[in-house]
Amino acid sequence: MKKTLMTLSFLLLAMVTFAATFDLGIKAGWNRSNLTSDMSTFTPSAKLGYNFGAFGRFGGSKLYLQPEFLYVVQNGGFSVGSTTDAIKMKSIQIPVLLGFKVLDLKLASIRAFTGPAISFPTGYKSDQNLKYNFNNSVWDYQLGAGVDVLNFTLDIRYAWGLSKSINTSDISSNFQPKANAFTVSLGFKIF
């Protein structure tokens, strides 16, 4: 709860600081995610998922802040020894990205951005009906680039898992699964 309040406070402060221009939009896209672990017997398999939500963009002519509110469905699988499972994970994700316009033309611009994201799992489905103890919040770090043409935006980003997705204290101290994801999304600036 403290991390959530800190994130929301940072977001509010940033909105006031960067409020020279303001854009609000919607976006949707695809992701390819997989779990990573230090266990030598762990074999991940990446699968396609999707996301959709809203974004805001606050900033000046070069520097901007882009908070997002996304519903994310990530699909992935893994094998540990003789156990194989595929998981569909659903979550609410809130990235807060700091961006820089690399090239700004009248009708188009090219951007680069980076920043943290927090995800709150809302449910999952296991093909093997296995029970998992997902953490209440999961942090990752995102890095990407985007293109704006008129009111359309195209973003490509990679997210590195910073915290464990699954609480594994009852399984093994060596099993530290973190979720990484590659995402492509298309958005539209409403105003």
- The predicted pLDDT at position 170 comes to 46
| Residue with the two structure tokens 């900033």 | 59
Distance (Å, whole) CA 166 – CA 164: 6
- The predicted pLDDT at position 9 comes to 65
Residue 179 has pLDDT above 90, yes or no: no
- The predicted pLDDT at position 74 comes to 87
- The predicted pLDDT at position 167 comes to 61
Averaged pLDDT for residues 42-70: 87
Q: Which residue has the higher pLDDT, 44 or 131?
A: 131
Q: Which amino acid is at 65?
A: L
Residue spans of the domains in the chain: they are: 2-189
- The answer to whether 76 and 35 have CB atoms below 8 angstroms apart is yes
pLDDT band at 154 (very low <50, low <70, confident <90, very high): very high
Closest CA to 57 of 103, 10, 4, 20: 20
User: What does DSSP assign to residue 62?
Assistant: S
Distance (Å, whole) CA 67 – CA 94: 7
Give the mean pLDDT of the chain.
82
- The answer to whether 134 and 169 have CB atoms below 8 angstroms apart is no
Averaged pLDDT for residues 26-42: 76
pLDDT (tens digit per residue) in 91-116: 999 999 999 999 998 899 999 999 99
Distance (Å, whole) CA 31 – CA 181: 6
- The predicted pLDDT at position 161 comes to 83
Distance (Å, whole) CA 188 – CA 42: 40
pTM exceeds cut of 0.85 = no
Question: CB count, 10 Å around CB of 48?
Answer: 12
Averaged pLDDT for residues 123-152: 84
Q: Which residue has the higher pLDDT, 169 or 148?
A: 148
Distance (Å, whole) CA 131 – CA 134: 9
CATH number of 2-189, picked from 3.30.1150.10, 2.40.160.20, 3.40.50.620, 3.90.1150.10? 2.40.160.20
